[in-house]
């Protein structure tokens, strides 16, 4: 976990790893899509404009879905909703709003919708493969506890660490995964002093002690001792590898079969990503389970799992329709 890369001198602006990886992924995706559209005889500037609109809509949609999922964390500080650079995006929410924006733009400009959607789906997976590395560096989107060789330990105070030391009622877990002594919980007084709780029975009702206030002995305990985080699946890197693989599959499909049937590459992206996201969610440990909502297909699954099922079903219908429709340019 390395949420901050470096600080710019003079202006003292901190460069965040999450945003940096998003920018790298976006730039590489745009360069690739420009090249692909130029090869199709289209004005490459259209894809640049479209990508910018899709990026803005995607970030807004992803943030909205995250805030809806975790609204209690923002109720007392609504302005923190705008702090996108700190992480906290639900990718599928971004896809939904970005696709809507893309369709509006393409229809308004009377551009070949299916051709552009195909190329955008390829660039989307390339960009996501870098964006998920940003998730890993930021510490969000973490996985379940594992004893396997791929397990990683996140540092004290990280989202994964907090998840382990507190109950997670959203995932039906009433007890912490990692037991800490009561001295790690308490309150910061107005005098700047730390006041730990006195009883284990009430410790989980208090905040975790800030890392900067830990004693040398406590630092040793949380970095190399029994109070360090338990290893978890690096689901962010799994997701990055998955996106890179889907990018390769979609590009090869588009190159050898998809161009003759516009819309099929985009449809295939919906199917593959929806199924992959459903599976990856089984290894993640950050999203709450859903019950008794009218739109939920998989009761007890996460929001992303249910949206993944809808994506796969919709993609299958699109794929059949576009494959039969064939070479028409709409």
**For the whole model, what pTM was predicted?**
0.89
For position 327, what pLDDT does the model report? Answer: 61
CA torsion 293-296-302-305 (nearest 10°) is -160
For position 66, what pLDDT does the model report? Answer: 81
Range scoring the smallest mean pLDDT among 118-132, 187-201, 256-270: 187-201
Q: Is the pLDDT of residue 221 over 80?
A: yes
**Cβ atoms of 202 and 147 closer than 8 Å:** no
Sign of the dihedral defined by the CA atoms of residues 195, 201, 206, 211, in that order: positive
Q: Which two tokens stand for residue 8?
A: 């710019």
What is the mean pLDDT of the segment spanning 311-329?
86
Range scoring the smallest mean pLDDT among 8-17, 108-117, 224-233: 8-17
- Averaged pLDDT of the chain: 90
What is the mean pLDDT of the segment spanning 56-62?
87
DSSP state of 156: T
What is the mean pLDDT of the segment spanning 41-70?
87
d(CA 161, CA 311): 32
What is the mean pLDDT of the segment spanning 205-233?
95
What is the DSSP annotation of 219-233? HHHHHTSTTSPPPB-
What is the mean pLDDT of the segment spanning 313-321?
95
Confidence of residue 244 (pLDDT cuts 50, 70, 90): very high
Confidence of residue 145 (pLDDT cuts 50, 70, 90): very high
d(CA 179, CA 175): 9
Identity of the highest mean pLDDT range in 67-71, 88-92, 309-313: 309-313
For position 330, what pLDDT does the model report? Answer: 47
Confidence of residue 86 (pLDDT cuts 50, 70, 90): low
Range scoring the smallest mean pLDDT among 58-72, 233-247, 250-264: 58-72
Q: Which residues contact 142 (CB under 8 A, 6 or more apart)?
A: 154, 158, 159, 160, 163, 232, 233, 235, 236, 284, 285, 286
pLDDT tens-place string over residues 258-272 = 888 999 999 999 999
- By CB neighbour count within 10 A (0-12 exposed, 13-18 middle, 19+ buried), where does 90 fall? buried
Q: Is the pLDDT of residue 77 over 80?
A: no
pLDDT tens-place string over residues 284-312 = 999 999 998 889 999 999 989 999 999 99
Neighbours of 6 (CB within 10 A): 10
**Cβ atoms of 232 and 159 closer than 8 Å:** no
Share above pLDDT 90 across residues of the chain, in percent, rounded to a whole number: 64
């Amino acid at each position: 976990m390395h949420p901050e890369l470096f600080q710019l001198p003079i202006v003292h602006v901190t460069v965040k790893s999450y945003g940096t990886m998003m920018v790298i992924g976006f730039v590489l995706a745009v360069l690739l899509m420009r090249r692909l559209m130029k090869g199709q005889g289209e004005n490459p500037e259209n894809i640049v404009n479209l990508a910018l609109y899709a990026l803005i809509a995607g970030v807004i949609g992803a943030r909205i879905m995250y805030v809806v999922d975790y609204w209690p964390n923002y109720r007392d500080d609504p302005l923190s909703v705008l702090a996108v650079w700190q992480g906290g995006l639900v990718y599928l929410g971004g896809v939904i709003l970005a696709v809507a924006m893309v369709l509006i733009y393409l229809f308004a400009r009377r551009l070949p919708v299916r051709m552009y959607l195909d190329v955008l789906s390829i660039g989307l997976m390339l960009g996501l493969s870098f964006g998920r590395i940003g998730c890993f560096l930021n510490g969000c989107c973490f996985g379940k506890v594992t004893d396997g060789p791929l397990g990683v330990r996140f540092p004290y105070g990280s989202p994964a660490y907090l998840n382990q030391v507190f109950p997670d009622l959203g995932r039906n877990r009433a007890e912490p995964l990692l037991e800490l002594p009561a001295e790690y919980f308490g309150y910061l007084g107005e005098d700047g002093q730390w006041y730990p709780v006195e009883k284990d029975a009430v410790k989980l009702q208090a905040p975790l002690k800030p890392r900067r206030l830990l004693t040398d002995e406590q630092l040793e305990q949380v970095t190399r001792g029994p109070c360090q985080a338990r290893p978890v699946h690096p689901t962010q890197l799994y997701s990055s590898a998955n996106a890179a693989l889907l990018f390769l599959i979609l590009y090869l499909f588009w190159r050898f079969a998809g161009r003759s049937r516009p819309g099929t590459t985009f449809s295939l992206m919906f199917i593959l990503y929806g199924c992959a996201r459903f599976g990856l969610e089984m290894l993640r440990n950050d999203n709450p389970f859903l019950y008794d909502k009218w739109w939920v297909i998989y009761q007890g699954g996460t929001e992303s799992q249910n949206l993944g099922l809808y994506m796969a079903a919709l993609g299958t219908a699109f794929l059949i329709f576009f494959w039969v429709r064939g070479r028409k340019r709409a």
